[in-house]
Amino acid sequence: MNHQEHYDRAAEVKRFEDSKLGVKGLVDSGLDSIPRFFIHSQDTLSDLRPGRPGPDLIPTIDLSGVDSDRRPDIVEQISLACRELGFYRIVNHGVPVEILDRTIGAVKAFHEQPMEEKARVYRREMETGVSFFSNVDLFQSKAASWR
């Protein structure tokens, strides 16, 4: 038997999920190698899009006029960005910079908490209020996302 035959991806993914560490928790734990279920096989690598898009390739969507006759165009821009890239930048959304800064600060503070604190809200069920988990498609994907 070779090494491939001994690998139990489902068991490794379950151990990761049960640990409630998430990717950052793995890194913070002193991990010295990337777990195998995060590594794409050669046959799936060819299906991936190369590299990271530059700032000029990330769509910027202007929400000014979203309550006007521009709405269908804005909706189509968002739809296209979601289908083709998976994310986009929004401008003229009306959210004050102070609120954005406080939100980013709160997210960073949450992720810097001890693992025991974050584990209290680690769950896949999103209808229970706050949830924190790693890889929305962890049990279905060919390789987990290192994010």
Question: Does the pLDDT at position 80 exceed 90?
Answer: yes
Q: Where are the alpha helices (DSSP H) in the chain?
A: 3-6, 9-19, 22-28, 42-45, 71-84, 97-111, 115-119
Structure-token match 């990337």, residue found: 34
Rg of the Cα atoms in the chain = 19
Whether 38 contacts 146, CB under 8 Å: yes
**Would you state the pLDDT for residue 1?**
44
For 75-88, letters b (16+ CB in 10 Å) and e give eebeeebeeeeeee
pTM of full prediction above 0.75: no
Given pLDDT bands bounded at 50, 70 and 90, which one contains residue 126? low
Higher pLDDT, 93 or 1: 93
Higher pLDDT, 147 or 30: 30
Question: Does the pLDDT at position 116 exceed 80?
Answer: yes
